[in-house]
Chains A and B, each alone.
Chain A
Amino acid sequence: MLEILIVGAVSSAIYAMLAVGFTLIFGVARVLNLAHGSFYALGAYGTYFLSSTLKWPLLVAALTSVAVVALFGVAVERVLVRPMRHSQLAVLMITLAVALVVEQALFLTFGSEYRNVPAFVDTKFTIGGVDVGGARLLALGVCMVLIGALWLFIQHTRLGSAILAISQDAQAAQYMGIPSDRIFSLVMAISAALAAAAGILAGPFLTVQPTMWLLPIVKAFAIVVVGGLGSIPGSIVAALMLGYAETIVAYGISTSWTEIVSVLATLLMLVVRPAGIFGRRAAF
């Protein structure tokens, strides 16, 4: 029981980190970024490359790869997504194409075999008779800190207010003198950095391979739909719900049913209440 509680919390935290970034860029720029999973994969691979191949210290490697992925995200937004923003389908297709290119680039450089991303902590902790890997606990802690920091940043800084203003009404915000293009880039950087951090933290206990972007993006999509597109609290609640639902299904029924849980939840939510739990409106 306690094991379910802890494992569920860890996967919820990783999901929340992915979903918050995904929903943020949608809420602000109205961009559904299918390349979000690639940022996650690039974060894990970047850390692996810098620490295992170039022998950098792990913390430096991790921070560098977060920064590089954030820059990559900004580049994708500037060069490819921005000219396409008039059409939802064009954005979906171009970000999907970016995801495919990243997958192929990873495949060509690292091959298709699994890679081991080194963990910051290797020791196991025993909580109430349950063995939990240190990497999982660290992931849980760092996720909570990062999401909390993001929340404070958005609620209590000038830049955060600008982000909020654009997400409420982009045109009005522009008239108030908020440089929306620069804010989009900033949000894209934050979103990509969060995804990369999630990849680095989850890397040690997940399989790191070129196709690892697909499942997280489906999960993030599901969480964001259930929570309400564009709503950060909604994403966190939905991440907890899905993380625990999947863990319970995995322990109670079988792991082969876990992937259906999130997809089924998405479908039901779309049919019953397309706006999601916390969505203010059925967007579009």
Chain B
Amino acid sequence: MLPHRLDFAAAAAFFGLMALLPLVFGSNYLIGVLTVSAIYGIWAVSWDFMSGLTGRENFGHSLFIGVGAYTAGFLNTSLGASGWWSLPAAMVVAVLFALVIGLPTLRLKGPYFALAMLSGAVIMQRLMLIFWEYTGGEEGINGLTPLIRSQLGFYYFALAVLAAMTLLLVVLARSHWGLILRAIRGDEATCQAAGINVTFYKIASLVISAAFAGAGGAMYAHYQLQVSPQLFAVVTSITIITMVYVGGMGTIYGPVGGAILLVLLMELLRDFGEWRLMIYSCTLILILFFLPEGLVAPMWRRLRAALTSRKPAGTGRTAAGLSQLEPGREPRP
């Protein structure tokens, strides 16, 4: 079988399994956990498209999530708009924020960009608390209406959004566009010298990333039926980065697996009570230390190599075209 058909088959099998799980077990608890993991998947994939490909690690992704959620909250409770208006509105607002913060900061690199984005998220969180008369302060906004009444229906909606977005971004990442983004990660100055409008590509990818994160934020708001300033917290961004890291950075599909794995791990650790976060953090150290390439994407690469009985992508010349999506060990600036 051709390798890209194999990718497609595996993706279809994976999403099919995700769709079947609640039908087999039929517990509301499981549906809830899976819904949350699907939304985290949306956030992780949108993070990876911008940061994984261009190497500009965004430590303030929660900014876009938060503004998306608050847009949904305002529209839904103050203006009484239907939940379906929230999604496009949240995307537009998140894009505006991406332009405002991205235009001045995207020329920065490495920790500087990370820090600038983090500052943006922290400022928004504080502003939400300072202007509590309008934003509800620590309590946030309560009483949103659900997007879809049935819990299972909403889960399928979230899963469908995740699948569609992952497909779209994988296609984009494998296109000319994705190649340019990866080239920017390798050497920005050379790209510029080759006549590529580097600024446009960076801004555009940040805008795409922010739009999906904002949509995910709105979905989360309509799932929890409330928004709180906690959405802007640094922890949210860090959790997302961890998921991408576990999934395999720059692979787009890896973070979906990373998000689901980590949400499930957190749920399984609930039995440990107080020790839960300790075990989680220690697991994180072990993964970072022993699996610098992540867990999900490298495993799939090996499995696929075994199935096609070829050399793993990235080592053979024939696989060079396919390995576009598998960054392997590229030099980082």
Contacts and interface: CB of A to CB of B under 8 A. Distances in A.
A221 B117 CA distance: 13
Contacts of A97: 281, 284-285, 288
Contacts of A214: 234
Contact of B284 (A83, A88, A100): A100
Contacts of B108: 270, 274
B48 interface: no
Interface stretch (B33-41, B120-128, B154-162, B166-174): B120-128
Given A80-B289, A90-B288, A270-B116, A105 B105 contact: no
A266 interface: yes
A270 B112 contact: yes
A270 B105 contact: yes
Interface in B121-155: 122-123, 126-127, 129-130
B278 A108 contact: yes
Contacts of A104: 277-278, 281
Interface residues of B, number: 37
Nearest to B127: A260
A189 to B, nearest CB: 21
A101 B116 contact: no
Nearest to A270: B116
Interface string B100-112: 0000110011111
Contact of B126 (A89, A90, A92, A259): A259
Interface in A29-86: 32, 80, 83-84
B282 interface: yes
Contacts of B111: 32, 88, 92, 284
A94 interface: yes
B57 A267 contact: no
Given A80-B289, A83-B289, A108-B275, A284 B122 contact: no
Interface string A251-278: 0000011011001101100110010000
Contact of A260 (B57, B114, B123): B123
B87 interface: no
B115 A266 contact: yes
A84 B291 CA distance: 11
A114 interface: no
Contacts of A83: 289
Nearest to B121: A263
A83 B333 CA distance: 18
B110 A267 contact: no
A5 to B, nearest CB: 26
A274 B112 contact: yes
Interface stretch (B11-19, B193-201, B238-246): B238-246
Contacts of A283: 112
B119 interface: yes
A84 B245 CA distance: 14
A45 B281 CA distance: 20
B5 interface: no
A119 interface: no
B145 to A, nearest CB: 31
Contacts of B114: 92
A223 B277 CA distance: 30
Nearest to A257: B130
B321 interface: no
B274 interface: yes
Nearest to A214: B234
B332 interface: yes
Contacts of A263: 119, 122-123, 126
A87 B332 contact: yes
B57 A108 contact: no
A137 interface: no
A96 interface: yes
A83 B288 CA distance: 11
Among B114, B129, B281: residue with most chain A CB under 10 A: B281
Given A96-B238, A263-B123, A271-B104, A221 B333 contact: no
A218 to B, nearest CB: 7
B260 to A, nearest CB: 20
A193 interface: no
B284 A267 contact: no
14 contacts: A89-B57, A93-B245, A94-B289, A96-B238, A100-B277, A107-B274, A214-B234, A222-B119, A256-B129, A260-B127, A263-B119, A263-B122, A267-B123, A282-B112
Given A84-B288, A89-B57, A259-B122, 14 more contacts: A32-B111, A90-B288, A92-B57, A93-B284, A93-B288, A97-B288, A100-B284, A101-B282, A225-B115, A256-B129, A260-B126, A264-B119, A267-B119, A270-B105
By Cβ-Cβ distance, the 6 closest A-B pairs, closest first, are A104-B278, A100-B281, A284-B110, A271-B104, A267-B119, A101-B281
